[in-house]
Amino acid sequence: MRTSFYLAVPIMMLLSITQSAIIARYPLLGFVPQLSFLVALSWGLLHDVEEGVTWAFVGGFFIDLFSVTPTGVTPFVWMIAILVVIQLSQIFPTSRYIMPTISGALGTLLYIAMQVLLLRLFGYQSSLETVIALLPLSILHGILILPVYWLMYTLLQRIRPRRVSF
């Protein structure tokens, strides 16, 4: 097991508690951003698919502990969304500005669409407003992922500086 799993557990636990206790009470433009999802996606974009999926599982699990959805739905849809988005991002040229924005918006569209479908399969009712909210929330996540991505990129540069060889 990689050491990033041991780093993911406390970070995602703190983010989930913060999200459910504080951020949910103060929505941004009428939406509650999923910071745990953005952190997992940023980590995956900065590292690799395996690490992003690991962080998505841990973050989704903690989010499910504080929500009314069946346990396991959020980690499942987050893992698939991050897997698809990171695989697609490897095809395109890397950019610290454009790729995180597109990845955040596309990942949000994927995970919410899959979550609505899964919850419908489990017998939960979803309204048309939930589906209509996909586009504004994905745009919001596309914007909010930039500071998250840059913060994580800066921290990784400080924690793991590049080796200089002669």
In a domain, 160, yes or no: no
Return per-residue pLDDT of the chain as tens, 166 residues: 466 788 889 999 999 999 988 988 888 888 888 999 999 999 999 888 999 999 999 999 999 998 888 888 999 999 999 999 999 988 877 777 888 999 999 999 999 889 888 888 888 877 777 777 678 889 999 999 999 999 999 888 887 766 666 6
Q: Has residue 165 been placed in a domain? A: no
Total Cβ atoms within 10 A of residue 62: 24
Res 126: pLDDT: 73
Q: How many domains does the chain have?
A: 1
* Residue at 107 is within a domain: yes
Which tokens in the block code for residue 41? 């996606």
Alpha-carbon gap, residue 16 to 27, rounded angstroms: 15
- Domain assignment present for residue 118? The answer is yes
pTM of the model: 0.89
At a CB cut-off of 8 Å and minimum separation 6, what does 33 contact? Answer: 23, 137, 140, 141, 144
Q: Please indicate, yes or no, if residue 163 is contained in any of the structural domains.
A: no
**74 within some domain:** yes
pLDDT score recorded for residue 124: 80
3-state DSSP percent of the chain in helix, strand and coil, to 5: 75, 0, 25
Q: What is the CATH number of the domain that holds 78?
A: 1.10.1760
User: What is the pLDDT, as a whole number, of residue 157?
Assistant: 84
In a domain, residue 161? The reply is no
Q: Are the beta carbons of 99 and 42 closer than 8 angstroms?
A: no
Domain of residue 119, residue span: 3-151
| Predicted local confidence at residue 155, as pLDDT | 84
Residue 41 lies in a domain: yes
